[in-house]
Amino acid sequence: MPRIDTLLSSFPRAPLLSQPTPLERLDRLSEELDVDLWIKRDDLTGLSFGGNKTRQLEFYVGAARAAEADAILITGAVQSNFARTAAVAAAKYGMQAVLQREERVPGMDPLYYSNGNVFLSDILGAEAMSYPEGEDEAGADAALEARAEELRAAGRRPYIIPLGLGHPPLGALGYVQGGAELASQIGGFDAAVVPSGSGATHGGFLTGVRLAGITAPVYGICVRRVADQQKARLEQVTAELAKLMNIPRPFAGADILTWDGALAPGYGRAGPATREALQRMAAAEGILLDPVYSAKTFAGLLGLLAEGTIRKGQKVLLLHTGGLPALFAYQNELGFGSVTP
Ligand SMILES: *Cc1c(COP(=O)(O)O)cnc(C)c1O
């Protein structure tokens, strides 16, 4: 098997992040939970609040630049970190960002539509459009393609970052690299816990650590779909990723682990377990998590410990994927920090 650097070097890449991101031991939580707990700080990928999408975008923006694009189009939830980070990357490389905001989370209050990533994307000069559905990947992709067609007709060169399956998962390459980077920092671990949404992070990370020779379980904590649906999605993402890299997938299907005990009350909603996990990390370690992904991932770690899947004394790695701007859009949903004047 060729070296990971060699495998990745054939893909165009636009530098966006400061790497390696820090790997830190969580001393107080390690003691409280009786595990040897480490955190990979991909919330610190830099460049306007960073997060996991910065790694993914290095490859998408690399492809966009190679295609001489002058606009980047992306679709996602209203509070999408991917959209905000795409707006950041587009600004950095002198392209127009077009963000399509899907109604994925019913019943949210006005802060959700104005603050956090929405607010930042507006400052960054992104064009915004909305899509009335949240569970219609094909329809959302078609609406974005229609906007791209208008731009082409106006003489522009749009590049679409696709979210649905069936496209080469360029973003997952960022986490092949991220997994390899972590392996060189940590050596080994007994279990890793990562969020599993589109699957680019989970699938890329699993591929990266396996290529680096680590065989320990990697638990994908479901943030959007139930465990068996998410596992099926990961089967496809990791097969497409191996094909993209032109290697055999370096693990068997049984190696794809998904856990949905922290998913309730559903995508983009923060229930009591999410809220508790968020506050526990903040109070014990001074590290902020986000309500949609990283707090659920930490809640997943706590759940896996409680059920004995992860055991006392083990060396455990938690991947912090960022997403912090969403905190400001979820203030009312979380119920922290109200002051009565
Ligand atoms: C998008 C996102 C995830 C999920 O990553 P996928 O690659 O889509 O699975 C996790 N954490 C944060 C903060 C995100 O923005």
Residues 149, 289, single domain; the answer is no
Q: Residue 63: inside a domain, yes or no?
A: no
Domain boundary, last residue among 161, 179, 210: 161
Which residue is closest in CA terms to ligand 1's atom 15?
81
- Measured in degrees and rounded to the nearest 5, phi and psi for residue 284 equal -85, -30
Tell which residue, 136, 218, 202, 211, has the closest CA to residue 169: 202
Q: Is the CB of 116 under 6 A from ligand 1?
A: no
Which of 159, 160, 91, 75 shows the shortest CA–CA distance to 124? Answer: 91
User: Rounded to the nearest whole angstrom, what is the distance from the C-alpha of residue 198 to the centroid of ligand 1?
Assistant: 7
Strand order in the sheet with 315-320: 23-25, 36-41, 315-320, 191-196, 218-222, 257-259
**Do 38 and 173 sit in the same domain of this protein?**
yes
pLDDT on residue 197: 97
Q: What is the pLDDT of residues 249-272, one digit of tens each?
A: 999 999 999 999 999 999 999 999
Nearest atom (ligand 1) to Cα of 322: 13
Q: Are both 174 and 302 inside the same structural domain? A: yes
Question: For residue 35, what are the domain limits?
Answer: 4-51+169-334
The pTM of this model reads 0.97
Pocket test for ligand 1, best of 198, 219, 236 (most atoms within 8 A of CB): 198
Domain co-membership, 146 together with 208: no
**How far does the centroid of ligand 1 lie from the alpha carbon of residue 140, in Å?**
18
pLDDT at 160 > cutoff 70: yes
Mean pLDDT rounded to a whole number for the chain: 96
> How far is 297 from 86, CA to CA, in rounded Å?
23
Question: Final residue of a domain: which of 161, 180, 203?
Answer: 161
Q: Which residues are catalytic?
A: 80
Percent of the chain with pLDDT over 70: 100
Cβ–Cβ under 8 Å, residues 292 and 223: yes
Q: Ligand 1 within 6 A of 200 CB? A: yes
Pairing state between β 23-25 and 36-41? antiparallel
Count how many Cα atoms sit within 13 Å of the Cα of residue 312 in the half-sphere of its side chain: 4
Three-class secondary structure of residue 277 per DSSP: helix
CB of 82 shorter than 6 A to ligand 1: yes
Whether residue 233 is predicted with pLDDT greater than 70 in this model: the reply is yes
* CATH for 132: 3.40.50.1100
Residue 211: pLDDT band with limits 50, 70, 90: very high
